[in-house]
Amino acid sequence: MNYSDITVWTIILVLGVGTFLIRFSFLGLIGERKLPDWVLRHLRYTPVAVIPGLIAPLVAWPDATGGSPDPARMIAAAVTALVGYLTRNVLAAVLSGMASLYAGLALIG
């Protein structure tokens, strides 16, 4: 990459301060004021609203394969989701997902 040292450090510092302010926004400014029910009803879904959307493109078009769909990774994603849903156990889901990925890569290539 062709950035000057100053540009790189500026990116790092602005990103750091910006990220902190995002994380601090509500915890720092709103404090213990009560949030209305409809806000809480939306906030309940933050993990399941954001994380699947963050992940779906990485599963559909993985960088490691240059963005072309890869059966081994898709099967591993499905196995992880299924084991996580059925067992409610994060570690079991991670382990079976990675095991499925290695098995898939070994079998399918």
Partner 1 sequence: MPDSNLKSIYFSGLRASAPFLLVVAPFAILFGVVAMEAGLDLAQTMGFTVVVVAGAAQFTALQLMSDEAPAIVVLVSALAVNLRMAMYSASMVPYLGAAPLWQRALISYSLFDQNYAACIARYELDRQMTLPQRVAFYLGATTPLLPVWIGFTLLGALIGRQIPPALALDFALPITFIALVGPALRTVAHVAAAFVSVALSLAFAGLPFNLGLIVAAVAALATGAEVERRFYPRGLP
Contacts to partner 1 from residues 15-34, by CB under 8 A: 15-16, 18-20, 22-28, 30-34
Q: How far apart are CA 34 and CA 49, in angstroms?
A: 23
Tokens of 107: 């079998």
Q: In the block, which residue shows the tokens 């699947």?
A: 52
Report the nearest approach of partner 1 to the CB of residue 34 (Å).
8
Report the nearest approach of partner 1 to the CB of residue 42 (Å).
5
108 touching partner 1, by CB under 8 A = no
Q: How far apart are CA 59 and CA 27, in angstroms?
A: 32
**Of residues 82-101, those binding partner 1 (CB under 8 A):** 82-91, 93-95, 97-98, 101
